[in-house]
Amino acid sequence: MRLHQLLEASAAAAPGAILLVERDRRVSYAELDRQANQCAHLFQQCGIGAGDRVIIALENGAEMVAAYFGVMKAGGVAVPLPAGPRSDRLPAAVADCSPRAVVVDEATARALGQSGTFADVPHVFALASAPLPAPFVDFVAALGDCRDTPVALHGTDEDLAAIIYTSGSTGEPRGVMLSHRNFVANARSIVAYLHLTAADRVMCVLPFSYVYGLSLLHTHVAVGGSLVIENRAAFPNVVLASMAEHEVTGFAGVPSTFALMLHRSNLDQARLPHLRYVTQAGGGMSPARIADWLARGPKADFFVMYGATEAAARLTYLPPAELSQKRASIGRAIPGVEVRVLTDDGRIAAPGEVGELVARGPNIAPGYWNRPAETAERFGPEGYRTGDLGYADDDGCLFIVGRRHDMIKVGANRVGAREIEDVLHEHPAVHEAAVVPACHDLLGEAPVAFVALRQPLPDAEMALRGHAAARLAAYKVPTRVVVLPALPKLSGTGKIDRMALRQQAASGQELPS
């Protein structure tokens, strides 16, 4: 099955069922499928066919979803990217994937319209409230002349469905190629362990330019469920109010999402009786923060999950029933996927022995766009090399100790940034924490911590270094603790921008506290 056929099947089964709930409208499956057909006809008129790339930089909403599935219905490859004037990945993606068309929002069009970014793109559409100068064509007006009937198309599930740009260890965006088969297999696996049905309605604060956000779309479309779109994730009380109003059954977030909910919202007063599950992925969440959520958050099953863009979203999950005993674990492989811990010499690590997590399954990407050397390095007969170091316990549960490039070589010792961050998160004044390596004259490298506080803390650096020293070996204690108003985030995903922090640590400059 090709990914857009999930939409078509759900629209045929229950055409009047609601797919999207937005602030000012509700969009049914039949309406969305017809809009996607219009997009497909428009893209075919632009000459887009098998394998042609179409960049979509729109906020979550019906137009974004219709364009996304419409590209696939036309046989093309969707390239979703963050929208807005600070869409830093868009110019690099245009240069890298040579799209035949782009669809952008008004802010992106006005910010990049005169920069030459789209000079070589044959068709440039904008979703705007007012006319824009050339080369932009009004997207809605262009669709008005297109039929909403299905498009005749032949292809296989091995064809590319999308290219998702993600930052690598160098911070330079690279495009992960994902096939229809990758996405459908992963969606079906997630549906199985979350027990999703057409009755489910998920609160979606994660952008569809991010593979975790896309997984919410794919899974709920697969079962005929609904998504409540809320593009104001920076205002957690607005999100909570919308969750209550629309009686959502599911909520998904990255660690910073939960930090905002716990420290900057009225979570303690929230009443969410219909919420049955919560999922967390997009980076490790400290055991202390998980415990805080379980104590203060809504009484719903909490799934810790782990994945990668290269896995079409998901690789492992921890069943809620095991959370109290395995709180620091990422669980076991999802149905249909194999995740092994391999040592540097290629053997399967013994329980407790640290190695690299390597994954195999129908959800694993074929590689990176225009990067054959990196594809050969990360994808091979053994599977996808995640770059994450971890171990399995005697029960087969997996634990992450850090990423290869986040391991800090302090003299003769190797230190995982994750371990130090978990300790810092135990301090009641810490809102967020990230640890990166910095050069050290004697030790080679040393850990530097960047923190954002949830409340004032006198002499914060000394207090937090003392907190760490009471719980960690001396060589693991950060040599510096830099307090920031907020930690920098990657555009759209809400994940901490560790490359920016590495650069600040390398510069040796003290940042304003």
Q: What would the two tokens of residue 159 be?
A: 């064809």
- According to the model, what pLDDT value does residue 28 have? 98
Band of the pLDDT at 134, cuts 50, 70, 90?
confident
Q: Alpha helices of 164-254 — where are they, by DSSP H?
A: 180-194, 211-223, 236-245
Band of the pLDDT at 512, cuts 50, 70, 90?
very low
Strands (E), 287-335: 301-308, 313-318, 332-333
Q: What would the two tokens of residue 177 be?
A: 């190629």
Name residue 380's amino acid: G
Q: Which of 3-7, 121-125, 283-287 has the lowest mean pLDDT?
A: 283-287
Q: What is the pLDDT of residues 7-61, one digit of tens each?
A: 999 999 999 999 999 999 999 999 999 999 999 999 999 999 999 999 999 999 9
Judged against a pLDDT cut of 60, whether residue 63 lies above it is answered with yes
- According to the model, what pLDDT value does residue 84 have? 81
Rounded to a whole number of angstroms, the CA Rg of the chain reads 23
- According to the model, what pLDDT value does residue 402 have? 78
Average pLDDT over all residues of the chain: 92
Q: What is the pLDDT of residues 156-193, one digit of tens each?
A: 999 999 999 986 545 577 999 999 999 999 999 999 99
- According to the model, what pLDDT value does residue 509 have? 53
**Looking at residue 511, what DSSP letter applies?**
P
Band of the pLDDT at 150, cuts 50, 70, 90?
very high
- According to the model, what pLDDT value does residue 89 have? 81
- According to the model, what pLDDT value does residue 111 have? 87
Judged against a pLDDT cut of 90, whether residue 360 lies above it is answered with yes
Q: How far apart are CA 58 and CA 228, in angstroms?
A: 16
Judged against a pLDDT cut of 50, whether residue 447 lies above it is answered with yes
Rounded to two decimals, the pTM is: 0.86
- According to the model, what pLDDT value does residue 417 have? 87
Query: Which residue's structure tokens are 């593009």?
Result: 231
Helix/strand/coil percent split, the chain, to 5: 35, 30, 40
- According to the model, what pLDDT value does residue 513 have? 32
Q: What would the two tokens of residue 157 be?
A: 């599930």
Q: How far apart are CA 513 and CA 428, in angstroms?
A: 18
What average pLDDT score do residues 425-430 get?
Answer: 94
Judged against a pLDDT cut of 90, whether residue 121 lies above it is answered with yes
Judged against a pLDDT cut of 80, whether residue 70 lies above it is answered with yes
Domains along the chain with CATH numbers: 3-8+29-153+161-167 (3.40.50.980), 411-507 (3.30.300.30)
What average pLDDT score do residues 395-412 get?
Answer: 83
DSSP per-residue string spanning 76-137: -EEEE---STT-TTHHHHHHHH--SEEEEEHHHHHHHTTTTTTTT-SEEEEE-SS---TTEE
Q: What is the pLDDT of residues 454-477, one digit of tens each?
A: 999 999 999 999 999 999 989 899
